[in-house]
Chain A
């Protein structure tokens, strides 16, 4: 807002200039910057959905970059890493992208959009970790969606410090399911 005001007051704007010696109001204009990912007093499904959408957006950006360049460069590597609080989970994401890359990304839509992940059930809610069952709609990303993959479990860990690559302040501690497409045997938030 301040920048807009400055831009509007160019030297040629004499008719609107304050007369010399006039009293100029000193109260700064109030600007309200709302961080959509600031942790609210009560973490509810609406907030978590907002975070999940933010993570889906980052992943979508990385995916589109990799598909366009046919390369995981260091920037894409770091950006993808910023989504994960667990190296094993990050390695799964890397493995999937590379295996699909070997097939020239044939399972992805030509210009993929983003997953749409929404909370189905909040299981554990804390300011440092949230564990939930989600519905993940990949129809904007994959050519053929397996409906059995929609039901997934996600644990988000609150990051100690903000990341340039991940604006949400949360990262995946767990994402997916077990080998039976069921919930993990242990609640990932119990180890946080």
Chain B
């Protein structure tokens, strides 16, 4: 007996949508039809051919009662773009619900769409609707997810005055970004609003990392993102901003997946200063 806990959205599509071409629908999976499921390396889940993911009891942290009750989408799950194959075998993109990431996912890959395809390749079209389904172009969660994948998010532009640091003294990182970003646009089902909140994570280049920092980094003396370099040499500093967001549209609301933007200071110099006593 397993728990039908976690079920994913399938994808269907139909009419053209002004900004983003065809739109996909995510609807409750057809429970009677799927007959094919497969295990991956994760001992907790199996994946089924209707796009659902089923959590297997006895293998992890499942908490739902058994009996086939449906929680869809499961709490905390968010929409991810996903590479798939159209009926003719050509690659296409769809959206499907997936479990939240434990650790933020692919590290160091800002704004990665979490579809493991090179972004430089020819744009991949949307997947067509499954056979027999027309698709719902007005799914609010899907509209919000599509916008979230496309809107430009603020990027940190890190700087440490005066352009170098002194070993043994605090360096004050200025992030020069935003930790809140509000996006709105009109859609066929009403005004969409996305409220994004960013938090900074800093890799100081010497093996130390700090974060999350929920406030902007500012210069001395009020700045709160600081670091003390020990050794005099150059460092590559990476400032990553992880964005979480909520959306509201047509009386509905939800959470969007995490996205990231980054800024860098390469070859940042930490100098050593010695006192010289002259008689």
Q: List residues of A whose CB falls within 8 A of some B CB.
A: 66, 70-74, 77, 81, 87-104, 106-108, 138, 141-146, 148-149, 152, 174-181, 184-186
Q: Say whether B116 contacts A72, CB under 8 Å.
A: yes
Interface residues of B in 3-61 (CB under 8 A from A): 4, 34-44, 46-49, 51, 53-54, 56, 58-59
Q: Say whether A94 contacts B59, CB under 8 Å.
A: no
Residue of B nearest to A144 (CB): B43
Q: Say whether B49 contacts A91, CB under 8 Å.
A: yes
Q: Say whether A176 contacts B37, CB under 8 Å.
A: yes
Q: Can you name 21 A-B residue pairings with CB atoms under 8 Å?
A: A66-B116, A72-B116, A81-B89, A87-B85, A88-B36, A92-B37, A92-B49, A99-B40, A100-B41, A100-B42, A101-B106, A104-B106, A107-B40, A142-B41, A142-B43, A146-B44, A175-B38, A176-B38, A176-B46, A178-B35, A179-B37
A98 touches which one: B38, B46, B115 (CB < 8 A)? B115
Cα distance, A90 to B80, chains bound together (Å): 18
Q: Is B105 an interface residue (CB 8 A)?
A: yes
B47 touches which one: A74, A96, A141, A184 (CB < 8 A)? A96
Q: Say whether B2 contacts A89, CB under 8 Å.
A: no
How distant is A97 from chain B, measured CB to nearest CB, in Å? 7
Residue from B44, B89, B96 having most chain A Cβ neighbours under 10 A = B89
Residue of A nearest to B87 (CB): A87
How distant is A31 from chain B, measured CB to nearest CB, in Å? 36
Interface of A is mostly: mixed
Q: Is B265 an interface residue (CB 8 A)?
A: no
How distant is B145 from chain A, measured CB to nearest CB, in Å? 15
Q: Say whether B38 contacts A146, CB under 8 Å.
A: no
Residue of A nearest to B115 (CB): A98
Q: Say whether A148 contacts B47, CB under 8 Å.
A: no
8 nearest CB pairs, A to B: A146-B43, A142-B41, A176-B38, A96-B40, A149-B39, A107-B41, A88-B49, A107-B42
Interface of B is mostly: loop
Cα distance, A94 to B99, chains bound together (Å): 16
- Count of B interface residues, CB-CB < 8 Å: 49
Residue of A nearest to B58 (CB): A148
Q: Is B103 an interface residue (CB 8 A)?
A: yes
Cα distance, A120 to B98, chains bound together (Å): 33
Q: Say whether A70 contacts B101, CB under 8 Å.
A: no
Cα distance, A90 to B103, chains bound together (Å): 27
Please name all residues of chain B whose beta carbon is closer than 8 Å to the beta carbon of A177 when the two chains form the complex: 37-38, 46
Cα distance, A97 to B48, chains bound together (Å): 14
Would A179 and B89 be within 8 Å (CB), given that A74-B121, A94-B82, A95-B96 are in contact?
no
Q: Is B154 an interface residue (CB 8 A)?
A: no
Q: Is B65 an interface residue (CB 8 A)?
A: no
How distant is B243 from chain A, measured CB to nearest CB, in Å? 16
Would A102 and B49 be within 8 Å (CB), given that A142-B43, A179-B34 are in contact?
no
Cα distance, A104 to B102, chains bound together (Å): 10
Q: Say whether A92 contacts B36, CB under 8 Å.
A: yes
